Amino acid sequence: MIRLFHVTRAALALTLLIAAGAGADSVPHTAEAPTALTDMQAARMLIRAGRLEHARAFLTQARPSDEEESIERRFLLGRIEMQLGNPGAAAEHFEAILARRPELTRVRLELARAYYLTGRDDRARHHFHTSLADDLPSSVEAAVESFLRGIDARKRWSASLSASMLPETRRSDREEVLIGGVPFRLSEEARASSGVGALLSAGASFSPVISDDLRGVLAASAAAKWYERSDWNDVSTSGDIGLSRLTETGSVSGGLRLGRRWVGGDGYQRSLGPWAQTRLRLSGSTHLGLALSAGYRKHDERPDRDGWRLVLTPRFLHNLDSRTSIRVEPTFEMTEAETDHHGSRSIGLGATIARTFDGGLSVSLAPGLQVRRHASADPLFGTRQLDRNYHLGVRVLHRSLRYRGFAPWIGYTFESNRSNIPIREYRNHGVIAGAARAF
């Protein structure tokens, strides 16, 4: 069928010229002009004539002469698929364009709409939010806000799954420590260790409709780190139940959370307590959030650590433009324990800066600092433990290298803990590799 279009291009040009209202006298008497019609030109004429399937056939076989024409070809194919009722196929074309030219807001809006029509609400919300960072006409901005409200109103199910590999090395710089004024030398094994871990995480949530602006919250999540050294293994699960009220600019939610954790293959901790969070859109490109959780933690073999843990996390997200976003998260934590020196207070600040470049490369940088002070003196060292934890993460993603919508990524993490108790000091290096769904 496609080969037939090459043969009949001259007849097609003549037909379209007549359909466009050209008189008989204006029709060329030779075949040279019509046969010079390119696939791209033929497709444009077919689209104007409403013959979308024929236009799609020409665009499929077209060989663009430069990058701009290549982008136009993809865009026209995406628009045709949308009009023919195939938003999933359209999204693939728009994704391919944004991987090369992330500043094209018109394409981003089309991709968001395609995701909305296929029910991929999380991806649609991401692209709608990102597009609002640009200076949109008021009518377009109002339409985007309407889509976002629609997403919030219809959201029922959501799920996530990720997997990655984590080779890491943990090391202490201290060669000896003083305990009771007596020096003790640390062995090389105690100072350094390394391993390769597999990190898996999954989550799912369901939001049943109670009324127009009230939803139920049912959620479950799990995360697991498995290492060659089994004593490093860390597995945790949690479940939430609660209510969420939708507003014109965000939502307010709250409920009860149950958690369970295993370390080194053995039961370590149970927790139960309330949680609450709120999200607020200050503008199309600026969002605020606040999360609060309180849980009573009961330990399987260490009752001296039992007690309440309270965490407060404000969040600030701002899209500087369609390429760059910044997220800032201060953290305030209070931990109580039956034995005072296991209790602590901490304050932290983390940020994530993400930038997308032409060609599909996306880089994020996540620095952070946390300061923790324990409630009383350590019985062994005779002083209150004070830790300063510095960490840095870098992640690189190439969205053009995709398989069924997933793109490979690689990251590096560095963590340094400085403490007035020497054996609590360490450095940790890790290289993470995995796959993620490309936006």
Q: Which of 61-65, 246-250, 379-383, 405-409 has the lowest mean pLDDT?
A: 405-409
Specify the pLDDT at position 176: 54
Which strand (E) or helix (H) includes residue 117? helix 105-118
d(CA 9, CA 62): 13
Give the model's pLDDT for residue 348. Answer: 97
Place of tokens 């139960």: 272
Whether 14 contacts 45, CB under 8 Å: no
- How many angstroms separate the CA atoms of 206 and 199, rounded? 24
Mean pLDDT in residue range 201-209: 88
User: Could you report the per-residue pLDDT of 72-91, keeping only the tens digit for each?
Assistant: 999 999 999 999 999 989 99
Write out pLDDT tens, residues 282-291.
877 888 999 9
Per DSSP, 187 falls in state P
pLDDT at 416: 92
Look at 147 and 344; give whichever has higher pLDDT: 344
How large is the average pLDDT for residues 187-208? 71
Which of 318-322, 369-373, 398-402 is most confident? 369-373
pLDDT score, position 18: 41
Q: How many CA atoms lie within 13 A of 346 on its CB side?
A: 24
Residue 205 CB coordination number (10 Å):
16
Rounded to the nearest 5 percent, the helix, strand and coil shares of the chain are: 30, 50, 20
> Residue 439's pLDDT band (boundaries 50, 70, 90)?
very low
Q: Is the full-model pTM beyond 0.75? A: no
pLDDT tens track for 136-177: 888 888 888 888 878 877 777 877 777 777 666 555 555 554
DSSP state of 305: G
Average pLDDT over residues 404-429: 82
Res. 191: pLDDT tops 50: no
Residue 44, C-beta contacts closer than 8 angstroms, at least 6 positions apart? 55, 76
Q: Residue holding tokens 């927790």? A: 271
Query: Is 118:90 a contact under the CB 8 Å cutoff?
Result: no
- Residue 26: burial class (beta carbons within 10 Å; 0-12, 13-18, 19+): exposed
Lowest mean pLDDT among 18-22, 101-105, 350-354, 369-373: 18-22
Output the six-digit token pair for 380.
Answer: 């062994």
- Decide which of 37 and 82 is more confident: 82
